[in-house]
Amino acid sequence: MEQYKGKSIFKKMAIGKIFYYEKNQTAVKREKVEDVEAEAARFDNAREKAKEQLQHLFEKAQREVGETEAAIFEVHMMMLDDGDYLESVYNIIRTQETCAEYATAVTGDNFAAMFAAMDDEYMKARAADVKDISERIVNVLSGNGQNMAEMEEPVILVADDLAPSETVQMDKSKLLGFVTRYGSANSHTAILARTMNIPALIEVDIQKEWNGKMAVIDGYEGTVTIDPDEAYLNQAKAVQQEELKKQELLKEMKGKETVTKDGRKIHLYANIGSVSDTAAALMNDAEGIGLFRSEFLYLESEDYPTENEQFLAYKTVAENMAGKKVIIRTLDIGADKQVGYFNLEKEENPALGYRAIRICLTREEIFKTQLRAILRASAFGNISVMFPMIISVEEVKRAKAILEEVKAELRTDGIAYKDIEIGVMIETPASVMISEELAEEVDFFSIGTNDLTQYTLAIDRQNPNLDTFYDPHHPAVLRMIQKTIENGHKGGAWVGICGELGADIELTETFLKMGVDELSVSPTFVLPVRDKVRSLHL
């Protein structure tokens, strides 16, 4: 039995086998081979293994997102049998007497460049596909790590770090907990752990040899124990039983109003990042969706999601919520949420760079596509739209003008939509200082406390070395929130909090006394926050 210390993200226990995940960092080298036919056979074996992986992904996607979305994996399987592609790989192996990894990588690069240069948009899109299948074969050939699609049972995921683009592809029903070497308590991976109600540790000296071993994450003590003995295992199971009892008690909050003992009622909504998260929001009795992080539709796609793909996602959430409010935040790409096909330049300080509304206002076609999808979906439920990273009244006016243009286009096309509430995220000191003027332009504010804390304290929330300095309870942050609520109400806007701080029950009473109208939290925090609100007398 070995125990390792880390920094806890979520206080809970997890017991299960470890799945060690390695990022694709294969450096392909050109190596000479003696037996070219054996190397060609090695390539064929890897290709068959890649087909098996793709078949598994196709079946999973069919079950979870439907036939249309799963079709991409069928395309990839077909490309693995493409005669021209195969002939190129075999030719490089045989004529250059080189390894299969090199031949596959070169072929992938050559074909991707060829597709990208074509005029036909469909063929251009195949450039990313051929790169993807080539990287998959290279990974199989090199034995590089495990694919997340290979998680066949609930596991504890161990990795150096996890980017938002990696977390979206996980089968979340098979995650018991995270353990990472790097990361920050305020990263999107940490937010995901809290959303899913699973323990997570960062800053752990992880070992590749842990793969497949039994482990226990103790989120209370901030430890992970490898190969626990029977006594420790029984102790951990007893703690889990206590956790389940507490969860059962919280279920008594379902169906009850979020109201204090002296009659002060607030709205309690849930934050989601995907259509599938709606189930968790409903299961935990959220009154609505206070934040739909629409950028995750972009993160989990290999190309810009189409208007129809977005429309179906928003429509599904609106229908599932059956008339309850659904607030969709327009895409917040940039900073730590990078998407390759956006071709964003590398920035010295991406948190202060080209992101969110700044992308939308300078790439109007992307913005209009999303707004069309949101407006079309509004005909099927109670949808509102919210613009992130606002720093000026002019930005809001420009965004609203584009929204009006889209409405006019829909009317011309005879497509139904509803007039929807418009809101802005208050995430910067600039937006706080002009919040009274902003309130006159919109229907509501949603305070994003994660970024507001970052920008108020001048602390990069992704930097683990600064976690001890990152204090969301800082008086300056709380005064920013207070000022926003007061100014919002003066200007006629209702005010909510959708950042992680909204779920901090140490501050629930403070927020209610400030006059907040709504709290939007991760689904698993809805019932604990309701329990807290109902215990208060203001």
3-class SS at 125? helix
Beta strands in 124-240 (DSSP E): 155-159, 175-180, 200-202, 214-218, 223-226
Asked if 519 and 265 touch (Cβ cutoff 8 Å), the reply is: no
- More confident of the two residues 376 and 247: 376
Per-residue pLDDT, 122: 64
Q: Which two tokens stand for residue 522?
A: 């991760």
Quick one: pLDDT band at residue 524, thresholds 50, 70, 90? confident
Asked if 276 and 313 touch (Cβ cutoff 8 Å), the reply is: no
With a cut of 90, say whether residue 249 has pLDDT above it: no
Best mean pLDDT range from 82-86, 116-120, 132-136? 82-86
The Cα 406–Cα 366 span in angstroms is 12
Quick one: pLDDT band at residue 268, thresholds 50, 70, 90? very high
Least confident of 87-101, 134-148, 222-236, 462-476: 134-148
Least confident of 7-11, 130-134, 193-197, 320-324: 193-197
Per-residue pLDDT, 537: 94
- More confident of the two residues 336 and 278: 278
Whole-structure pTM value = 0.66
With a cut of 80, say whether residue 71 has pLDDT above it: no
Per-residue pLDDT, 209: 92
Per-residue pLDDT, 341: 80
Provide the percentage of residues in the chain whose pLDDT is more than 90: 59
Please identify every residue annotated as catalytic.
188, 498
Mean pLDDT of 122-129: 71
Per-residue pLDDT, 193: 76
With a cut of 80, say whether residue 481 has pLDDT above it: yes
Quick one: pLDDT band at residue 499, thresholds 50, 70, 90? confident
Per-residue pLDDT, 66: 60
What does DSSP assign to residue 5?
A: E
> Model confidence over 35-65: pLDDT tens digits?
999 999 999 999 998 888 888 777 766 665 5
Q: Are strands 214-218 and 223-226 parallel, antiparallel or unpaired?
A: antiparallel
Q: Which two tokens stand for residue 499?
A: 């950042």
Residues composing the chain: 538
Mean pLDDT of 271-284: 88
Per-residue pLDDT, 162: 76
The Cα 35–Cα 97 span in angstroms is 8
Q: What mean pLDDT value characterizes the chain? A: 88
Mean pLDDT of 81-97: 92
Per-residue pLDDT, 349: 78
The whole-angstrom distance between residue 229's C-alpha and the CA centroid of its chain comes to: 36
Quick one: pLDDT band at residue 99, thresholds 50, 70, 90? very high
Per-residue pLDDT, 359: 92
Q: Which two tokens stand for residue 123?
A: 């063929």
Mean pLDDT of 84-105: 93
Least confident of 128-142, 218-232, 407-421: 128-142
Per-residue pLDDT, 336: 62
Beta strands in 408-484 (DSSP E): 421-426, 444-447
Residue owning tokens 């074996």? 45
The Cα 177–Cα 31 span in angstroms is 40
Quick one: pLDDT band at residue 125, thresholds 50, 70, 90? low
Annotated binding site for Mg(2+): 427, 451
